[in-house]
Amino acid sequence: MADIDYKVIIIGAGSAGLCTAYHLQKIGIDDFKILEKGEGLGGTWFWNQYPGAECDVQSHLYSFSFEPKPDWSRPFAGQAEILDYFNHIADKYDIRRRVQFNTEVEALQWQDAEGYWKITTQDGEVLRAQIVVSAIGMFNNIVWPNIPGLEDFKGNYWHSARWDTAHDLIGERVGVIGLAASAIQFVPEIAPTVKQLHLYQRTANWVVPKDNTPYTEEQLETFRNDPAALQKSRDDIYAVWNTLATFDDKKVLADIEAAGLERIAAVEDPDTRRKLTPDHPFGCKRPLFSDLYYPVFNRNNVELITTEIERITQDAIVT
């Protein structure tokens, strides 16, 4: 094998990249580098900073088994708390110094004769490694809807995954195109402050209850002082998700749908209720969880629009 720069190069400094780095060090492999296209680590929790961003998996499970955290503030932690946890991991296990930020990989080419990977970055840097681990995740590239005229719009617009945190929405007219996992989290956050909120829905999704009551101090003390209690919580969550993920327990699915329909029934306008009611069984599309979403539709400044968008002009969305 020809000379290489690193034994292992990891692409991405999100949860998978950090976990890989931890385990490489654990087995004695120190000759590795992490290439991260962003200026910070944490992956999706670095990029997604929209209001109300939080995980849909309870944090006692959505955390590393080698670094349990007994003091998550609530069952489903928010973006900032998760990002703090990943930064803690990077610092505690001396991973940060191995991350090369602002480095996007443009090409990978296996050099068969020499027996190494040639990694080319967008800046033209070339690195060689025996092993490459792709830890880029599922959401590293944002996707814009293919709507004619989008780039002609003269107002402010952005993708939820690149939220303009400097822009104040108070008193503004806002259109949200697409009502899925991200939108059901940020819509309840911005609805009370904007002047008018137009929500464009193509498909009605199942949005089922999500009990995210903050832990009491007594509960936190139990988790801090009793590792077995924290592990039991993790195991119980795993068992629930392992059962749910196959979507084959008819009673579980029926109970979930009933809970979702109960929340929709609290929407006062009958036409809006009809538009919000899914026409497919729970599990056919990505499940969504929120206790805050459906009450938004009882606000006077919120309108649900389900007719197809034809185009976008300089100052309007035309259905």
pLDDT number for residue 246? 86
Mean pLDDT of the chain: 96
Per-residue confidence at 114, pLDDT binned at 50, 70, 90? very high
pLDDT number for residue 257? 95
Residue 315 has pLDDT above 60, yes or no: yes
| Percent of the chain predicted with pLDDT > 90 | 93
Cross-strand bridge partners of residue 177: 200
Closest CA to 17 of 53, 1, 41: 41
The Cα–Cα gap between 267 and 125 comes to 55
Both tokens of 301, joined, read 């400044």
The Cα–Cα gap between 185 and 53 comes to 6
Parallel/antiparallel/unpaired status of strands 126-134 and 116-121: antiparallel
Both tokens of 117, joined, read 């990977």
Closest CA to 299 of 197, 172, 169, 182: 197
Give the pLDDT confidence of 218-254 residue by residue, as tens digits: 999 999 999 999 999 999 999 999 888 888 889 999 9
For residues 17 and 135, the answer to whether their CB atoms sit within 8 Å is: yes
pLDDT number for residue 278? 97
Per-residue confidence at 2, pLDDT binned at 50, 70, 90? low
State the Cα torsion 239-244-245-247 to the nearest 10°: 150
Closest CA to 295 of 251, 257, 265, 274: 265
Element containing residue 105 per DSSP (H, E)? strand 105-111
Both tokens of 119, joined, read 């990694």
pLDDT number for residue 304? 98
Q: Which amino acid is at 268?
A: E
Both tokens of 216, joined, read 């009491």
Residue 156 has pLDDT above 70, yes or no: yes
The Cα–Cα gap between 305 and 50 comes to 22
The Cα–Cα gap between 6 and 55 comes to 34
Closest CA to 202 of 50, 308, 43: 308
The Cα–Cα gap between 259 and 207 comes to 9
Residue 57 has pLDDT above 60, yes or no: yes
